[in-house]
Amino acid sequence: MSLPDLAVEALASLDALEADGLSAFTGSGSPAEVEAARVEFLGMKQGRVKTAQERLKALEPSAKRAYGQRFNAVKGSLESAHDAAKARLDRPTLAIADGFDVTRPGTRPKLGHRHPLTQTTDELIDLFGRFGFTVARGPEVEDVHHNFDALNIPPVHPARDPLDNFYLSEGTMLRSQTSTVQIRVMESQPPPIRVIAIGRVYRPDTVDATHSFMFHQIEGLMVDKGVTMADLKTVLRLFARSYLGEDVKIRFRPSFFPFTEPSVEVDMLWHGGDRWVEMGGAGMVDPNVFRAVGYDPDEVTGFAFGLGIERLCMRRHGIDDIRLLYQNEGRFLGQF
Ligand code: DAH
């Protein structure tokens, strides 16, 4: 073999070395196979790269340069192939073998949030809290004394009609209004009083876009020396503006409730709205209510109001069907 032939053959052997090495590394299917390929090709003592390096010495000086350059390239490419194979297989194989691949992208947990009615409730508690109102609670299963008698609703009043109430027995019922809590609060403490009560009320109404057999009310009660209707209007107006916007107008319309005298309906008008919307009732606490709880109507006066939570929430968000609030439908609730 002539010298040039030897040089050509040496370069060809580097090509073969590279091809063999690359296929050994890319074809390894386990860390053990990668390690075997590393020993065979990159091993310090008898690795094929090492052997190829030693061959350089036997070459003619004129061939050394080309061989050396090609050798460096082959060595580099096999080292990279080794690194790549290691990286590919150095994954937590144990976890994969267990049927759980920790390297797979995770599933993002779906975070829920508070129901829009709960958001409204929390906001009302916050707003009235700033006016000094604390939160009072009362039972949903109520007796007729708190739901009617103590609220100055006489035994023959149509509001007591069995067709309009969920009676549980002769003397008990699902409360039809949160005004019951006014009585419970005043029975349990002397004036002054500044409370709101928020909760469910029940009436056998036929369900449609604006009615439900169960809905929520917010009740307010303030009792002290010298409380007037101006206080009532101020509190409700400040509340309406805070909750629904600066441009909301509020109007009192004369009305009648057995537990207030005088009584009003509370209407609100929104910017751009074309009609007043009734949001609830209010008035000055009737002296008979004070007498029923042992307060002296000559000593204190007070105002009370009751508003529908659903109405406030629907108005705020532009919801046009009350049933949407009870159906627990994710696409609907996700909007708020
Ligand atoms: N309880 C009444 C209802 O459910 C609303 C109401 C009116 C509450 C006047 C009040 C009030 O406190 O003063 O229709």
305 lines ligand 1 (CB under 6 A): yes
- Tell the residue number behind the tokens 């070395």, with chain if given: 17
pLDDT tens-digit profile, the chain (336 residues): 455 777 888 889 999 999 999 999 999 988 999 999 999 999 998 899 999 999 988 888 888 898 999 999 999 999 999 999 998 887 665 556 667 777 888 888 888 899 999 999 999 999 999 999 999 999 999 999 999 999 999 999 999 999 999 999 999 999 999 999 999 999 999 999 999 999 999 999 999 999 999 999 999 999 999 999 999 999 999 999 999 999 999 999 999 999 999 999 999 998 778 899 999 999 999 999 999 999 999 999 999 999 999 999 999 999 999 999 999 999 999 999
Which pTM does this prediction carry?
0.71
Residue nearest to atom 5 of ligand 1 (CA): 306
Question: Token digits for 80?
Answer: 């990279």
Sheet architecture: strand order including 214-224: 134-136, 193-202, 214-224, 301-308, 277-285, 260-269, 249-257
Q: Is the CB of 304 under 6 A from ligand 1?
A: yes
Provide the residue ranges of all domains of the chain, joining segments of one domain with +: 3-98, 116-333
The correct CATH number of 116-333 out of 3.30.930.10, 3.40.50.2300, 3.40.50.720, 3.40.50.2000 is 3.30.930.10
List the Cα angle 175/178/181 in 5-degree steps.
100
- What is the 267 CA–ligand 1 centroid distance (Å)? 13
State which ligand 1 atom lies nearest to the alpha carbon of 217.
4
Q: Is 177 in the pocket of ligand 1 (CB under 6 A)?
A: yes
